[in-house]
Amino acid sequence: MKLPNMLLLITFAISGSMDLALADKQDVRKTRTQIKKAWSKVKTLSATSLQNNVKDLRVASLSTTLYGTYYLVKKGDKVLVRQDISTSSSMDYKEHDMSTSSGTASTTIGDGEFQYTITEIEGNVAVKKFTQSPMLCIGGLDAMKIFFERYDVRQKSDSKIDGRDVYVFEAIARKKKPRRAILSVDKQYGILLKRDSYDYQGTLRSSLSYHDVKVNEDIDPQKFVFEPPSGIPIEDYTGK
């Protein structure tokens, strides 16, 4: 092949790739607008959550399962959230025929400005206060905020979860050894129903999903009232 013809083919290939990348960004922007509109229909939300994590350490493999309940209420421009989680962990040692297990319980309450987390581990209780994270909300664009900021996101083919139509996104971290996440967002209400996270080798390391989703049903306001345990100091990380 003559050099000019080869250069022409390369130019066409680059141009085609740029056009596809631009189309992907346009699709994502359009869908983000639809998610924002869908989330505006939600006033209250409740669901159960399940998360499985696997981490390989030098001498062992750590497996963690988190099961919980999730409640959310919109109050003016604030989002109130309560999340109760039970965690069980097991450590399997690679060179020894032995394993260990442990469990924790935690409650996180967000009042729209701050979030408080009460954690109990083997009878020891700790209370921490943070500025409320946007990602404590599992609906709308806040649920995917970190991915849109730090990852390259493209839209995949739509799918279904628990009979619900979902948008599917692939997010790839901007790193030399990029991690990848697959996000599934409910079309009707803009709720993040599933997030699968993979390491740079393509191994699934974390899977978070929400089930038994109920929208716009009454939720007891007392669920969002933070009552600190008696005698336990609050570790304040807000800097205020």
Tens-digit pLDDT profile for residues 119-153:
998 889 999 999 999 989 999 999 988 898 889 99
Specify whether the CB–CB gap between 81 and 69 falls below 8 A. Answer: no
Secondary structure (3-state) at 208: strand
CA distance 153 to 12: 24
Q: What is the reported pLDDT for 17? A: 42
Sole residue written with tokens 């990852």: 151
Q: What is the CATH number of the domain that holds 210?
A: 2.50.20.10
User: pLDDT at position 132, please?
Assistant: 95
| Of 65, 60, 128, 127, nearest in space to 102 by CA | 65
**11 within domain boundaries:** no
Q: Is the dihedral of CA 204, 201, 64, 120 positive or negative?
A: negative
pLDDT for residue 100 is more than 70: no
13 lies in some domain: no
- 59 vs 10: CA distance, rounded Å: 48
Total of domains in the chain: 1
Structural domain contains residue 140: yes
Percentage of residues in the chain with pLDDT exceeding 90? 66
Domain-embedded: residue 7: no
Higher pLDDT: 12 or 89? It is: 89
Higher pLDDT, 164 or 57: 164
In a domain, 205, yes or no: yes
> In the predicted model, is pLDDT for residue 3 greater than 70?
no
State yes or no: pLDDT of 2 exceeds 80.
Answer: no
Q: Does the pLDDT of residue 230 top 70, yes or no?
A: yes
Whether the per-residue pLDDT at 103 is higher than 90: the answer is no
pLDDT of residue 97: 62
| 8 lies in some domain | no
Tokens of 22: 């631009």
Residue type, 50: L
Q: What is the span of the domain harbouring residue 58? A: 24-236
Q: What is the three-state SS of 34-89? A: HHHHHHCCCCEEEEEEEEEEEEECCCEEEEEEEEEEEEEEEECCEEEEEEEEEEEE
**Of the candidate ranges 7-11, 27-31, 129-133, 223-227, the one whose mean pLDDT is the lowest:** 7-11
Nearest of 109, 86, 104 to residue 219 by alpha carbon:
109
Helix or strand holding residue 161 (H, E): strand 159-161
Q: Provide the pLDDT for residue 98.
A: 58
Residue 12 lies in a domain: no
Report the range of poorest mean pLDDT among 9-13, 36-40, 106-110, 123-127. Answer: 9-13
